[in-house]
Amino acid sequence: MTSTATDSKRAVVVGSSFAGLTAAFELRKHLDRKHEVVVIEPRDHFTFIPSLIWVPFGKRDPEDVTFKLEPVYAKKGIRFINDAAASFDLDNRKVITTGGEEVAYDSLVVATGPKLAFDRIDGLGPENGYTQSVCNLEHAMQTREAWERFLQNPGPVVAGTAQGGSCFGASYEFLLNTHHRIRKAGLEDVAPVTFITAEPFLGHFGLGGVADSQQRVEKYFDKLGIEGIANNVITEVRDGEIELKGGRKLPFAFSMIVPSFAGVDAVSRTEGLGNPAGFIPVNDEFRHEEIENVYAAGVNVAVAPPQQTEVPAGVPKTGQMSEVMAKVAAQNMAADIQGGERREMPMSEMEAICILDGGNTGIIFKADHVLGESEHPRVMSGPQAHWAKIAFEKIFMGSRKLGHPIL
């Protein structure tokens, strides 16, 4: 037993975005106070990632989309370690941090999120390439600087998701917000907008489409004058130019491309924890398929796509899905530690709800099942989508600051 007291145990959460934050709150709710809950996270703040699509245009600042983690956790009686996991000692049930601390656990949930795999395409990304990103706060602020430069010297715009990617919602939202801002600035004649995506068709979303999403998105693009290029492979990005498989070259003065994801280094370097891509295989309890006391939730969970596509396209794992995974994992971790009811949630039965903001309009879709056919899919478009996203942001941020994991 790794606990220091004979009757107390420790649950450790690695990561503190949607899945990690929810898992920590749920563990504290389910576990008796004699049991310890510990969170390990390299950032000292939570970031509401869905709102980062507004940051480049000055519609949100960092303080609007973040809050400090330590005070929130302290109020809940949760220990917070502001450090990153470097590796996992599965035999001895320990997490080793980059600072050298060894954190023992009786039950562990890995909720690190992904590694951004810009390096899979030459010239992709804001650090060693020529395209922008809204995948984290630092990237969103760099994109704001790039947008300011674009307004001084406008030209063609390219947005989208690279092959192997799964976060299609963010690229659609950013595209629509960018187009909205271009129109407001009166730059439509000098800044044509192109969307490139790994999806086999527009509105696929990595789910095979939701109801008539393909027709709705195509019609929406036609109305706005956006060229959409699906089933796309980026071969190289150069300064001011994206080259696609087949040889077509897209010039750009401003570009935001969401990359594919990979497992984080701490998981990849721990033998037996992740699959070859670094994602963690789990069962319907979100417990590791082979390691009894290890769970996973969020983007770092391995999920096979519902069907193979010509260009690799992953399954999206939204914040809402990540929270469901975390709740299931936390309830089962609590059952491991002190007994109680267990819970299962097959990925095929999990629903997906997504709000795609378009600046002053947008699209809302709901799929009954992330994998396979949805019995009652719903898609609607209009200004209500924009207001729904704003409302969701306010409710989410307000409730989490108080430590209430309301879905």
My answer on whether 365 and 336 are in the same domain is: no
Place of tokens 């002053």: 360
In the chain, which residues have pLDDT < 50? 1-5
Within-domain flag for 2:
no
My answer on whether 111 and 169 are in the same domain is: no
My answer on whether 157 and 100 are in the same domain is: no
Within-domain flag for 405:
no
My answer on whether 148 and 208 are in the same domain is: yes
My answer on whether 294 and 194 are in the same domain is: no
Q: Quick one: pLDDT at residue 5? A: 47
Written as one letter, the residue type at 50 is: P
pTM value?
Answer: 0.92
Q: Quick one: pLDDT at residue 312? A: 84
Q: How many domains does one find in the chain?
A: 2
My answer on whether 391 and 247 are in the same domain is: yes
My answer on whether 61 and 176 are in the same domain is: no
User: Which residues are registered as beta bridge partners of 161?
Assistant: 258
Q: Quick one: pLDDT at residue 4? A: 46
Within-domain flag for 336:
yes
My answer on whether 137 and 161 are in the same domain is: yes
The predicted-structure confidence for 93-151, as pLDDT tens digits, reads as follows 999 999 999 999 999 999 999 999 999 999 999 999 999 999 999 999 999 999 999 99
Q: Quick one: pLDDT at residue 362? A: 83
Q: CATH no. for residue 50? A: 3.50.50.100
Q: Quick one: pLDDT at residue 350? A: 82
Within-domain flag for 218:
yes
My answer on whether 150 and 273 are in the same domain is: no
Active-site residue list: 167, 354
Q: Quick one: pLDDT at residue 406? A: 62
The predicted-structure confidence for 284-296, as pLDDT tens digits, reads as follows 999 999 999 999 9
The residue segments making up the domain with residue 206 are 118-261+350-398
My answer on whether 384 and 252 are in the same domain is: yes
Cα–Cα dist 224/211, whole Å = 22
Instruction: Show Cβ contacts of residue 335 under 8 Å, excluding neighbours closer than 6 positions.
Output: 341, 342
Per-residue burial over 124-152, b if 16 or more Cβ lie within 10 Å, else e, is: bbbeebbbbbbbbbebbebbbebbeebee
My answer on whether 371 and 382 are in the same domain is: yes
My answer on whether 100 and 37 are in the same domain is: yes
